[in-house]
Chains A and B, each alone.
Chain A
């Protein structure tokens, strides 16, 4: 079943980069991701084909799990087939650099989010910088995976316990988040969740609140700096 992205425009709709899809899934938490992001949620067709399906078809170890992502009923592929869309992807790819295929997923995510006004869940730093750069197309709101989890817990979409468990499972392997997984980090996470909980009812509803983007990330960063 396909869904027309044009019928689901606006910041209350999320577009996922490959990283959250792969890491939530690899740790067995695709259901948690589904609960957080809602239906429909989008990701570029490029990511589904090149970063999810193609590795899976190699039959190698962990990639076999990717079938769960392809089967997720709430996740829909979107693409930009017109000239303007292709050109925008190409420009973003040029900005993000890397080898010919590197960063193409991020370029597609950002181009799609620009066009449809979506909020993006993305870890890639180059991609996030491009998303925040008003001088290079519209600003695209982005949040980290840990922010998605903490705000989701604050707004009661999932429990704080579940949110931390997922963050810990992913971050213990990735070790690249703005928040680590030590005991002190857990206290910081809890404080952030408490602050986000106070926003519930006073600001945009879930998941539209995520369109506040990096301000939500920054709250976690500043809370961490406060120790």
Chain B
């Protein structure tokens, strides 16, 4: 019952397995942000018009960026897109200086092998077949409920439909059970999700995020006083007040561009206390 089979599917699965193995992830649920970071890829989220699509993978030289659209879909979709773009990074490297993959609809029927491989990679990476089998072990297909599926969507960070297809493609449930679950979940997913607590990273995927490397570089410029707070705010796409708070929160005080001269201050204190030479 290995549906979704075919060479692209196998390529994606092998890639995901290899990555999980290399990073020592076993078959546990993952934080895709962490995995992306560990592969040296920057992750950014911005609000683009809906027709911009789901995401992009961009490579220039040895720099890699996954860019997601916060205006499309929900956190589950964004997470899947992130994993899909990581699939391009892992599976589709070549010697070209510049590589761009544009994904306008991550769930559209794909004829392109690279896109199908990236989708398979994402599905395997987010929800390994072994883990799904274990989760549903001992539960007859006809007894798997939409509630159980929603519980799994939260564990693996996938949408209801994607998860149903995933357990089917992983050979855990039959096509009949798949169709019953798809029908049973229709229009009820939000209501069912309310029964469970949401994932901690949901808000992250719905909020514009600049790449960590970019933010660090901007803060470095601010710290070294090459730019003003106003310019920092501009670079961080925020208000001056929020930029100041951000710098404050990361322990970056404005005076650190010119580190306090402790010796001069000690001398001044000594003078104040009457201990000066």
Known contacts A124-B228, A176-B244, A218-B264; is A129 also within 8 Å of B258 by CB?
Answer: yes
The answer to whether A175 has its CB under 8 Å from any CB of chain B is: yes
- A218 to B267 Cα, complex, angstroms: 12
Q: Is the CB–CB distance between A176 and B260 below 8 Å? A: no
Contact with B along A192-221 (1 / 0, CB 8 A): 000110110011000000001011111101
By secondary structure, the A interface counts as helix
User: Chain A interface (Cβ within 8 Å of chain B)?
Assistant: 98, 124-126, 128-129, 132, 175-176, 178, 195-196, 198-199, 202-203, 212, 214-219, 221-222, 225
Q: What B residues does A129 contact at CB under 8 A?
A: 225, 257-258
Q: Is the CB–CB distance between A218 and B260 below 8 Å? A: yes
Q: Is the CB–CB distance between A202 and B272 below 8 Å? A: yes
Q: Is the CB–CB distance between B274 and A132 below 8 Å? A: no
Q: Is the CB–CB distance between B255 and A218 below 8 Å? A: yes
Q: Is the CB–CB distance between B258 and A176 below 8 Å? A: no
- A221 to B227 Cα, complex, angstroms: 20
Q: Is the CB–CB distance between B244 and A195 below 8 Å? A: no
Q: Give the interface residue-count category, chain B.
A: 20 to 34
Residue of B nearest to A197 (CB): B272
Contact of B254 among A98, A125, A195, A222 (CB under 8 A): A125
Q: How far is the CB of B139 from chain A (nearest CB, A)?
A: 55
Q: Is the CB–CB distance between A175 and B245 below 8 Å? A: yes
The answer to whether B268 has its CB under 8 Å from any CB of chain A is: yes
The 19 listed contacts between A and B (C-beta, < 8 Å) are A98-B231, A125-B225, A126-B226, A126-B228, A128-B225, A132-B258, A175-B244, A176-B254, A178-B253, A178-B255, A195-B272, A202-B274, A202-B276, A203-B271, A212-B268, A216-B268, A218-B255, A218-B260, A218-B265
Contact with A along B145-161 (1 / 0, CB 8 A): 00000000000000000
Contact of A176 among B227, B231, B240, B274 (CB under 8 A): B240
Q: Is the CB–CB distance between A215 and B261 below 8 Å? A: yes
Q: Is the CB–CB distance between B260 and A221 below 8 Å? A: yes
Contact of B255 among A124, A195, A203, A217 (CB under 8 A): A217
Considering the complex of A and B, which 3 residue pairs feature the smallest CB-CB distances, nearest first?
Answer: A218-B260, A198-B272, A129-B225
